[in-house]
Amino acid sequence: MKVSQNASLKSYNTFGIDVKAKTLISINCIEELISVLDKNYADDLFILGGGSNMLLTQNIDATVIHIDIKGIEVVRETEEFVFVKSNAGENWHEFVLHTLENNWGGLENLSLIPGNVGTSPIQNIGAYGVELKDHFVSCDAIDIQTLEFKTFTAEDCEFDYRNSIFKNKVKGKYIITSVVFKLTKSDHKLLTNYGAINEALDEMGIVNVGIRDISNAVIKIRQQKLPDPKILGNSGSFFKNPVIHNQQFEILKKEFPEMPNYLVGKDSIKIPAGWLIDKAGLKGYREENTGVHKNQALVLVNYGNATGEEILNLSRKVQAEILAKFNIDLEPEVNIF
């Protein structure tokens, strides 16, 4: 356990925002977590995982708990499947690489997503046709008030697009300590139908596609489109892709026949927010220390010393322009504090 006072959180959030925590405690094992929770009142705690899906706009006048509990183990195996448990503090991408090294299939499309394993269920991370929920078995979490452990099954988690029970009913109530995934040992189900993956595989000259090739293709696409947070602070997609009613879509389609769209329910259409922002002429837009990324308009970036407030202001400007041009309300995907 490492405890520091008045600590900068700059290296703990991928936006690279330099706010301070009253107290920062890095936790390396469950016993440490229990002893810290026992001493601190729940309302004076702020839980931090990989810091990849948050925008910090002010100093945190609380005890920030950085979950850094490592460890990966196989908990069960059948002829076809392996059940792998990862502790919450494992880096997501390193965990994915570990599964691929063992030739376990399922998570390859989720390569290079920033963040930690423990926070991945909260927003049901997803990319290139796969969501965490497709391979999730359960997670263990500790109740911050009672210190009791609870196992959440996939059903308990109420997963939805970038959403789960941890963002709703039990928000702030639990800390996830480990996650179990069900992965294939052979006959892997390869999902390459997401356009860009096939193109990348072709460019790489791959004919007999395997899970590692898919991972490499995803890494290649992400590196081309998405800025590396180590170089340019960002939090991935800043907004969710909005879902609009069919009636509104029909109206918009007349003006913008080329607008990409995906049917998600009987009368609901999902529109890529990146396309809307791009179409509004904001791709590559820069405002002092902040900007809209030049290759993927859904990503807001910190050019160096931006404050959280500056990024928040830029996000509001983007929201206002999209509302004015398309009458669509963009909802942030990142958590704002």
Among 131, 278, 287, 321, which residue interacts with ligand EPU (rule: CB under 6 A)?
278
Among 56, 69, 298, 301, which residue interacts with ligand EPU (rule: CB under 6 A)?
298
C-alpha to C-alpha distances, 154 to 57, 113, 135, 215, 284, nearest whole angstrom: 33, 21, 9, 24, 39
Can you read off the two tokens belonging to residue 179? 């996650």
Task: Print the binding letters for residues 84-103 with ligand EPU: x by CB under 6 A, - otherwise.
Answer: --------------------
Active site residue 286: no
Q: Whole-number minimum distance, CB 237 to ligand EPU, in Å?
A: 4
- Site size with ligand EPU, rule: CB under 6 A: 17
User: How are beta strands 60-67 and 45-48 bridged, if at all?
Assistant: parallel
| The Cα angle at residue 331 between residues 329 and 337, in degrees rounded to 5 | 140
Q: Which is closer to ligand EPU, CB of 76 or CB of 286?
A: 286
Catalytic residue, chosen from 26, 138, 215, 237, is 237
Among 197, 297, 301, 318, which residue interacts with ligand EPU (rule: CB under 6 A)?
297
**Start-end of H helices in the chain:** 30-39, 92-101, 154-157, 195-203, 211-225, 246-255, 273-279, 308-326
Q: Which is closer to ligand EPU, CB of 25 or CB of 107?
A: 107
Active site residue 237: yes
Catalytic residue, chosen from 120, 162, 222, 315, is 162
Q: Whole-number minimum distance, CB 206 to ligand EPU, in Å?
A: 19
Q: How far apart are the first and last CA of the chain?
A: 25
- With b meaning 16 or more CB within 10 Å and e meaning fewer, what string describes 211-249? bbbbbbbbbbbbeeebbebeebbbbbbbbbbbbbeeeeb
Angle between helix 92-101 and 211-225 (nearest 10): 150
* Longest pairwise C-alpha distance within the chain: 60
Q: Which is closer to ligand EPU, CB of 161 or CB of 337?
A: 161
Interaction between residue 274 and ligand EPU (CB under 6 A) = yes
Can you read off the two tokens belonging to residue 210? 């395997």
Task: Print the binding letters for residues 211-240 with ligand EPU: x by CB under 6 A, - otherwise.
Answer: ---------------x---------xx--x
Interaction between residue 275 and ligand EPU (CB under 6 A) = yes
Q: Whole-number minimum distance, CB 40 to ligand EPU, in Å?
A: 31
Footprint of ligand EPU (CB under 6 A):
127-128, 226, 236-237, 240-241, 260, 272, 274-275, 278, 283, 296-298, 333
Residues taking part in catalysis: 162, 237, 333
